[in-house]
Amino acid sequence: MRITTIMRPNIVSQAGVSTRLNQWWENIPFLTSAVVVVCGIIYVVCLLVGYDSFTEVCFLPSAVISRFQVYRIYTSIIFHSSLLHVFFNMTALIPMGSELERIMGSVRLLYVTILLATSNAILHVLIALLVAHNPIHPYENLMYECAIGFSGVLFSMIVIETSLSGVQSRSVFGLFNVPAKWYAFLLLIVFQLLMQNVSLLGHLCGILSGFAYTHGLFNFLIPRTSFYSSIESSSWLSSCVRRPKFIVCTGGNPSGYIPTRTSENSTSSGILPGNIWRNLSSLMPQRQVSARPNEDSRFPGRGRTLGASQGQMASHLHSDSNVHARLLDNSSPNHPLDSSTLSTNRQLSGGRHSADNVPTATAVVPPPQGAIASEEGIKKLVSMGFDRTQVEVALAAAEGDVNVAVEILMSQQD
């Protein structure tokens, strides 16, 4: 007896090209995709209007020094000379920029990109001046070379990404492996040999800036996490922060992934960079940030163990709700929280507080700060564009933690 079966097509394999491209594009973080769009639009506009000289926007050391045209530092990185130029640069940016943005956050990566572009230009000018005025064999051509393209910043990102990955060796186009510290220099030589009109000095300065960043030479220029958080919590950026592709700098400890200050508690005078960033961030509405020692800053939020039984999950939810009810009942000044309730709540909230600060069983402590939704926290979230009723519910569910409330509100919008 023959049995006829009907094979259903695989929805994933039958997905159209447009669907696959849309899924691929949605996986690219906010800033990386924005840079790709901006560079692409600028090239198309230049192509349509017939603008191809680039002498007014390229990085020209002589013009920067003699006419102080500092704008060239930033216009030169978003203009490209040909279709292949912009295509190769953007296809190289997407994987590296996406990885760095997921680690740093969108606002932090924007600041780092501007910092790298600026340092690249400064090194470019200094080296061109030294070569042009050296007493042995002056060479002034570097002062009049017109450089454009995002590749200088890309070489800096290559150095940073290689340092963050922690690998000892990297593959060059799948042909052979080289030590990781020499990877960027080898790419510089290969591109110089295989391509024409490539800016050797521009790429070299990108590599030098990347090494300076990874070795902490720019630490005095890197603001603290509260500076980025204050920018993200500002009302003028709320529409961008609510987008699913935007990566928020959550305030976790990033010292394992990017260079930071060696001493966060060191005192400084009013003219030092530490106070400068603190004063700048104080001009913006700041977000309350709770330290989470056990949380990886690259993957914020609470996690569950895979394979847990439904009974265990139900018991955890039941006990969590009981603790929340006791917290609400005991939140008045006449009914302070006992230590057992506070300790249980800390265990259920994923280790949000340090274990060294847990009181003994006989101690009586006041309710933790931020356990109740404050009017200030409600106003901050409402200023970000969320509905007040949803904000109050989210803050109550997050025990007054503004960061957790933002995660809840954004997950509801998704």
pLDDT, average across residues 31-48: 95
DSSP state for residue 331 in the 8-state scheme: -
pLDDT band at residue 385 using 50, 70 and 90 as cut-offs = confident
14-28, 125-139, 257-271, 316-330 — which one is most confidently predicted on average?
125-139
Q: For the CA atoms of the chain, what is the radius of gyration?
A: 26
pLDDT, average across residues 327-333: 42
- Quote the pLDDT of residue 250: 63
3-state secondary structure of 392: helix
3-state secondary structure of 204: helix
Residue 273 pLDDT > 70, yes or no?
no
pTM of the model: 0.60
Residue 70 pLDDT > 80, yes or no?
yes
Say if residue 225 is exposed, middle or buried (CB neighbours under 10 Å; 0-12, 13-18, 19+). Answer: buried
pLDDT, average across residues 229-253: 80
Using alpha carbons, select from 372, 371, 368, 229 the residue that is nearest to residue 287: 229
By residue count, the chain amounts to 414
Q: Which helix (H) or strand (E) holds 172?
A: strand 169-172
Residue 271 pLDDT > 60, yes or no?
no
Could you identify the residue written with the tokens 């000095």? Answer: 201
Task: Give me the catalytic one of 203, 229, 230, 297.
Answer: 203
pLDDT, average across residues 266-279: 41
More confident residue, 361 or 51: 51
Residue 78 pLDDT > 70, yes or no?
yes
d(CA 55, CA 92): 25
CB 247 within 8 A of CB 33: no
pLDDT, average across residues 313-337: 44
More confident residue, 127 or 164: 127
Phi, psi (degrees; rounded to nearest 5) at 254: -90, 10
Q: Which helix (H) or strand (E) holds 83?
A: helix 83-104
- Quote the pLDDT of residue 321: 46
pLDDT band at residue 347 using 50, 70 and 90 as cut-offs = very low
pLDDT, average across residues 145-162: 94
- Ranking 31-35, 266-270, 406-410 by mean pLDDT, the lowest is 266-270
Task: Give me the catalytic one of 33, 76, 98, 151.
Answer: 151
- What are the residue ranges of helices labelled H in 330-387? 339-348, 375-383
Say if residue 80 is exposed, middle or buried (CB neighbours under 10 Å; 0-12, 13-18, 19+). Answer: buried
Using alpha carbons, select from 106, 107, 147, 149 the residue that is nearest to residue 124: 147
Q: Which helix (H) or strand (E) holds 85?
A: helix 83-104
CA angle 377, 381, 387 (to 5 degrees): 125
pLDDT, average across residues 193-216: 92
3-state secondary structure of 178: strand
CB 151 within 8 A of CB 201: no
203 part of the active site: yes
Tell how far CA 146 is from the center of its chain: 31
Average pLDDT, rounded, for the chain:
74
CB 384 within 8 A of CB 395: no
137 part of the active site: no
pLDDT, average across residues 210-233: 91
pLDDT, average across residues 316-344: 44
pLDDT, average across residues 67-90: 94
CB 339 within 8 A of CB 363: yes
Query: Who contacts 215 (Cβ-Cβ below 8 Å, separation ≥6)?
Result: 259
List 364's β-bridge partners, or say none.
Answer: 338
